[in-house]
Amino acid sequence: MAASVSVSVSVSVVPAAAEGLRAAYTSGKTRTYEWRVSQLNAMLKITTRHEKDIVLALNSDLGKHEHEAFLHEISAVSAACRMALKELRLWMKPEKVKTSMTTFPSSGELVPEPYGVVLVISTWNYPILLSLEPVIAAISAGNAVVLKPSEVAPATSEVMAKLLGQYMDASAVKVIEGGVQETTALLEQKWDKIFYTGNNKVGRIILAAAAQHLTPVILELGGKCPVIVDSNINLTVAVKRLISGKWGCNSGQTCVAPDYVITTKAFASKLVDAISSELERFYGKDPVNSTDMSRIINSRHFERLTKLLDEDKLFGKIVIGGQCDKTNLKIAPTVILDPPLDSLIMTEEIFGPLLPIITVNDIRDGFNFITSKEKPLAAYIFTNDRKLKEDFVQRVSAGGIAVNEVTIHLTDPALPFGGVGESGMGTYHGKYSFEAFSHKKPVLYRGFTGEISARYPPYTTRKLKFLKAAMNGNIIGIIRALLGW
């Protein structure tokens, strides 16, 4: 079903594009199993046949190493396609439900149906994964969909527009590139669902626009994701995982990357030394020149991060790193020990390769610190203490939690991924992606037998007794009412 999608769509044609999608959905073709499978197979071809094109685009936008591009984006999109192809018939099957005495005799089921025409607004830090996985979900559920990639990652945006135009059904799957004007024009249209990945500020704009049409939304936002590091751990393994999740994932430009660490004053020096040693093993003595670390997306974000780092309040607090290369937009892995809690680095989401460590007298004091803040997208703890794990899971509210790990919980399709409070609303991944773009339509089936006169006038005391007994499941009461006792 190859068709062309314009690489650059002007604001003036956005309404027509939305109308075209609506017509395609109304025709019914996107609801069919065959259409969904054809589009999922087309998406799979994009990730397998054009891996090099995608890697080059990611490197151009973010300086991503091929290893990271494949591991964190290309393979994840392929896996989402394959899972959807494998499970789609089961996901589409109506779910039988047990009906109550009040509707006896009857049967019921929940029929998953697509919302209709959906809008996916993506972000720049994982521009392939965070664009195509929601599109896969929308297609799996039988929707027509328009993707608005981030203009901050122009090379990736261009390659997606080109490849989706080449492989997908352009009457029902469109890519609209552009910036704020195009996004604004899109938000002025009526959609049946909006999926947005990005920051809180824009999230509020999306939510306000959606309210005009009572459009349901999924907001995948961010927040300051905390990590509790207890002393009762395998320090080497814990530090490797911490480094991988912070600096090995897009140089910290990741919504679930550790934003700050909490440990005890007694353990802090051991933790800092271990991080320093492992960072050198990972990225060498001159990490700014390591090709294994992504660069900062652009000069604006580079300046934002260096502003956090250069604040006077951090004088003497940097214990690892701090080197910056403005020309190549690289910042070395940097650790700041006990920055003031009112410093910018502790009040703003970092979204970069800077990691504050906050020390406390007792590790449980860290729980109070976390719960005093807005709910994060993810929260992590490293400990071998069973009770500490249990208390952390019970007390800390977050979009998701990982114990003795960071970030990789979102790669498991059995676990829904999403935020809570300031970190977002709604979840996806695996079957949850299909459900995110489906309305579970309840359907009740009855025949023409089993009529009960008690539901109809004229109302009598006997009929009321029968109804009360029936609704309370009181069999003896039902019999007495029928017999007139």
| pLDDT tens for each residue of 224-267 | 999 999 999 999 999 999 999 999 989 999 999 999 999 999 99
Burial class from Cβ neighbours inside 10 Å (0-12, 13-18, 19+) for residue 180 reads: exposed
d(CA 269, CA 277): 12
Quick: pLDDT tens for 192-226: 999 999 999 999 999 999 999 999 999 999 899 99
196 sits in the region (left: phi over 0; alpha: psi -120 to 50; else beta) called beta
- Let me know if 220 is a catalytic residue: yes
Locate tokens 């751990």: which residue?
A: 233
List phi, psi (to 5°) of 175: -115, 125
| pLDDT value for 103 | 85
- Let me know if 324 is a catalytic residue: no
| pLDDT value for 104 | 84
Positions of CATH 3.40.309.10 in the chain? 226-418
Contacts of 76 (CB under 8 A, 6+ apart): 129, 133, 411
Positions of CATH 3.40.605.10 in the chain? 11-221+429-440
| pLDDT value for 5 | 42
Residues of the chain with pLDDT under 50: 1-9
User: Which CATH homologous superfamily contains domain 226-418?
Assistant: Aldehyde Dehydrogenase; Chain A, domain 2 (3.40.309.10)
- What interhelical angle do 154-167 and 51-62 show, nearest 10? 160
| pLDDT value for 4 | 37
| pLDDT value for 300 | 96
d(CA 67, CA 71): 6
| pLDDT value for 204 | 96
Which position among 220, 278, 324, 349 bears the catalytic label?
Answer: 220
The single-letter code of the amino acid at 273 is D
d(CA 230, CA 225): 17
| pLDDT value for 6 | 38
User: Any bridge partners for residue 228, and if so which?
Assistant: 262, 381
Note if the bond before 376 is cis, omega within 30 degrees.
no
Question: What predicted TM-score, i.e. pTM, was given to this entire model?
Answer: 0.92
Pick the CATH number of 11-221+429-440 from 3.30.365.10, 3.40.605.10, 3.40.190.10, 3.40.50.620: 3.40.605.10
Which position among 68, 255, 324, 349 bears the catalytic label?
Answer: 255
